[in-house]
Amino acid sequence: MFNFLRNLFKRKSAPEKPRLVLPTHDQPPPAKPGPGDSKAAKEQWERQAAQQINPDATPEDLCGLTPGMTKEEISAQLAMLYRRHNRAASSLEANLREEAEIMLDVIASMRQKYLK
């Protein structure tokens, strides 16, 4: 009886949604550690999660825009970056929040330059 109820109310995992992945940096962002990972792994992830913004890079380089991109590709790239950095802007981690604010300003200027 208990096994039946346990199976009946067991959480079912949702199918994974397909994701559109557009390359923006040379290295992919590090995977977030899970609840069973060590504290050292979590601290290392926090240090690596906020990528340092290169002060010498152009706004186009920061956003991953290339000269051969169409207007639709630019729009998709900027939308993906906006989603990522808009979420990070409300983070409790100061370094992640600072980078997000800078990137949101850069994304806004690129939208005005290329999409208006």
Render pLDDT for 16-70 as a digit per residue (tens, 0 to 9). Answer: 555 544 444 445 555 666 677 777 776 766 666 555 777 788 999 989 899 999 9
Residues 6+ apart with CB under 8 A from 103: 53, 62, 81, 85
Render pLDDT for 60-82 as a digit per residue (tens, 0 to 9). Answer: 998 989 999 999 999 999 999 99
Question: Which tokens belong to 100?
Answer: 């997000």
Q: For 95, list phi and psi in degrees, rounded to 5.
A: -65, -35
Residue 73: CB atoms within 10 Å: 13
Over the chain, what is the mean pLDDT? 78
The pLDDT assigned to 107 comes to 94
**Where do runs of H (alpha helix) occur along 1-116?**
2-8, 39-49, 59-63, 71-88, 94-115
Residue 74: CB atoms within 10 Å: 20
| Entry pTM | 0.58
